[in-house]
Every structure is written in C-alpha cells, then in structure tokens.
C-alpha cells in the first residue's frame, strides 16, 4: 500500500485528535509532522513529536496538509494554504477562511463526496455544527427535498479551544470552593449558564452571528441548493465535548417519522436513538469520543406543512472536525487522489 507524508498545522485539541484518529484508523502515513508557530518537542496523544516552525518550505514533499485550528484559531491557512498546494500537498482545512470560496469544495464525505471530483488541491471542512446537522439532514434531503430549516444549537466549549475548556473547569472548581468566577474566553461566565452568541455579527445576515450564518451558507453549498431557507440560533452551553441541535424541517412533500427513521437507520455515520418512553435520545455526553452522529426525538412538526422535528448530537472535535478531515483524505485516496 502506498504511504503518505502527513503534516498537521496546529497542535491544539483538533490536531491532537487527528493523531489519535490517524493511528486508530491505520491511515497509511509514512510520517506525521507537526507545524506550528515555534519549533519544539511536544507530547501529543502519548507520542513525542518534533514540532517544526511553519513556513512555506515546510510543506515541501508533504502529500496531505491538515490545517487543524478550531473555529477560534484563524489565519494559518490564509498564510500557508495555497503555498502548500503549490508545493504539491493536498490541503484539508478545518478553519473557515475558504469554505465559501468557489475554488474550494466543502465536504462531508457521507453527504457530498462528489464535490471532491474536481478539487484544486484545497478542500474545506465544514463548521462543526454544520457537520453534525447535515449528517442527519443530508440523507433526508436526498429522499425528500428540504425547503426550510429552523436550528437551535447547544454547542460545547471545546469548539472554542483549549482555553475555553480550562476556563469552564476553573469556573466549576471555583464555584464549589466559593471563589470568584473569572471569565476571559467568553464575554460572560459559562459555568451554569448558556450564552446565545457564538461569533460576531455578520453584515450579510443582519442580526445573526457568524456561527449562525455558517449554518445557512454552508448547508446550501453542501446540499447544492441555494433556495433552502435557514434560521438558526447558536448557543454556547457548559458542556466540554459534543454539540447538540434541535432541528425543525419543512420538506417538499410529507415525510413520516417512520420513513425518516428508516432512512437515518441506513445512513452511514448515523445512529438512531429514539425511544422517549425509555429516556433514550441523543446526548452530547454519550457522543464524546465516538464517530457517529446520534439522531432522535423524531416527530411531526405540525406548525408547518410537511414538517418534521428531530434532535441530533455529535462529537464536535471528532466528527465535527478531525475525523471528517481524515475521512476526506481517505476518500481522496480511494478515488486515486
């Protein structure tokens, strides 16, 4: 089997998870190197790596370059993404700098792998909340066109990065010890609270934040339908790992909960957990560290024609970021690059 030289730009939560997944899935990597702002040795997922300083020349002879920043870490792919492509690497970018670029496919391998067919060496990972939602919505849309979505997200602090994880830990500890709760990662205390703002305001979508705009524009691009109407409210919650979302769907024609369950039960990367009588439904806690997106609470939405409501949860660092990127690389290898 052919082996590939792999570079990971960024050594935070997503980069660490990428190493774990590359090993777990036996990805055919002849070498894994880390690139970051400064040169050093670092232990990642139980292995010691020499971290090289990121520069254009560092991408020479790489087959894949994963840009592993979380949503809060921007700019690396702006500096080095197309430089890496020029040097022969296929770039898979977890950031949002190029997601809506016409040159760049935005891909969830289980949903729109065909978008990879004419790639120009640069592929974007969708936003974590978009991936979690579309793992369920993609199979349903193929069966019955979606006309409108109303999405409310419950997003964990790991989506912001390691500093936010530490901040939540410290706030909980200080609350128990009756000490002041300091906040820096967020504009308000996150422990025992919810924050109905993720990102700044977007001019293109007045009143909506950048995270909410991503749900609109990314969903349309991935599903290939610019007529889908989307209204979303993105909320940060005091959970370490795992995003959950409440989704109300308007379809082109009626779809029963039973039909939706059957479609989702046969969808790759999806697990249906849907028995309220037994208190069985998707939980972020249960998705942490797992690959599949869970779907449940599937029921009619009688507030609109052809309506359906459901609840989803998935690991935002794993399927929402690191795993999806590696699956893109695996799909490219399967397609012969």
Please state the rounded mean pLDDT for residues 234-260: 98
Across the chain, mean pLDDT equals 96
Burial class (CB within 10 angstroms; exposed 0-12, middle 13-18, buried 19+) of 57? exposed
Q: Any catalytic annotation for residue 234? A: no
List the one residue out of 289, 296, 291, 329 whose CA is nearest residue 312: 296
Please state the rounded mean pLDDT for residues 215-224: 98
Q: Which two tokens stand for residue 22?
A: 């590359």
Tell me the pLDDT tens digit for each residue of 18-57: 999 999 999 999 999 999 988 999 998 888 999 999 999 9
Question: Rg for the chain (alpha carbons), in Å?
Answer: 20
Give Cα separations from 219 to 50, 68, 69, 187, 201 (angstroms).
Answer: 38, 21, 21, 28, 19
Tell me the pLDDT tens digit for each residue of 80-137: 999 999 999 999 999 999 999 999 999 999 999 999 999 999 999 999 999 999 999 9
69 pLDDT band (50/70/90 cuts)?
Answer: confident
DSSP H/E element including 155 = strand 146-155
Q: What are phi and psi of 280, to 5 degrees?
A: -110, 115
CA dihedral 121, 122, 123, 127 (to 10 degrees): 170
Domains and CATH numbers, the chain: 4-126+321-334 (3.40.50.720), 130-315 (3.30.360.10)
Residue 265, helix vs strand vs coil: helix
Whether the predicted pLDDT of 5 surpasses 60 = yes
Q: Any catalytic annotation for residue 128? A: yes
Of 119, 128, 141, 234, the catalytic one is: 128
pLDDT value at residue 337: 76
Please state the rounded mean pLDDT for residues 59-78: 81
pLDDT value at residue 319: 98
Residue 182, helix vs strand vs coil: coil
Of 119, 141, 234, 243, the catalytic one is: 243
Percent of the chain at pLDDT > 70 equals: 99
Please state the rounded mean pLDDT for residues 293-301: 98
227 pLDDT band (50/70/90 cuts)?
Answer: very high
> 97 with 75: CB under 8 angstroms?
yes
pLDDT value at residue 75: 74
DSSP at 280: B
Tell me the pLDDT tens digit for each residue of 123-150: 999 999 999 999 999 999 999 999 999 9
pLDDT value at residue 72: 39
- What b-and-e string marks burial along 73-102, b requiring 16 or more CB atoms within 10 Å of the CB? beebbeebbbbbbebebbbbbbbbbbbeee
């Amino acid at each position: 089997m052919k082996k590939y030289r792999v570079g990971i730009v960024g050594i935070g939560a997503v980069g660490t998870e990428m190493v774990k997944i590359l090993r777990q899935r036996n990805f055919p990597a002849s070498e894994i190197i880390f690139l970051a702002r400064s040169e050093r040795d670092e232990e990642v997922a139980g292995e010691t790596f020499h971290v090289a300083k990121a520069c254009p020349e560092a991408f020479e002879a790489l087959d894949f370059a994963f840009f592993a920043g979380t949503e809060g870490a921007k700019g690396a792919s702006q500096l080095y993404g197309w430089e890496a492509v020029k040097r022969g690497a296929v770039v898979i970018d977890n950031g949002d700098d190029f997601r809506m670029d016409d040159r760049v496919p935005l891909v969830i391998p289980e949903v729109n792998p065909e978008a990879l067919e004419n790639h120009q060496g640069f592929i974007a990972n969708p936003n974590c909340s978009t991936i979690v939602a579309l793992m369920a919505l993609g199979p349903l849309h193929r069966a019955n066109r979606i006309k409108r979505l109303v999405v409310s997200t419950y997003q964990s602090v790991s989506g912001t990065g390691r500093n936010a994880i530490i901040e939540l830990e410290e706030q909980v500890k200080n609350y128990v010890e009756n000490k002041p709760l300091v906040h820096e990662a967020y504009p308000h205390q996150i422990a025992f609270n919810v924050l109905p703002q993720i990102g700044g305001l977007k001019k293109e979508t007045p009143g909506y934040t950048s995270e909410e705009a991503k749900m609109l524009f990314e969903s349309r691009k991935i599903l290939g339908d610019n007529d889908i109407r989307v209204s979303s409210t993105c909320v940060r919650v005091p959970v370490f790992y795992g995003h959950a979302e409440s989704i109300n769907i308007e379809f082109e024609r009626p779809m029963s909960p039973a039909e939706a369950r059957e479609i989702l039960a046969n969808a790759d990367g999806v697990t249906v957990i849907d028995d309220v009588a037994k208190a069985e439904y998707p939980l972020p806690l249960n998705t942490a560290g797992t690959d599949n997106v869970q779907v449940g609470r599937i029921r009619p939405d009688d507030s609109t024609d052809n309506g359906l409501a459901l609840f989803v949860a998935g690991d935002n660092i794993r399927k929402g970021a690191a795993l999806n990127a590696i699956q893109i690389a695996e799909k490219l290898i399967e397609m012969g690059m």
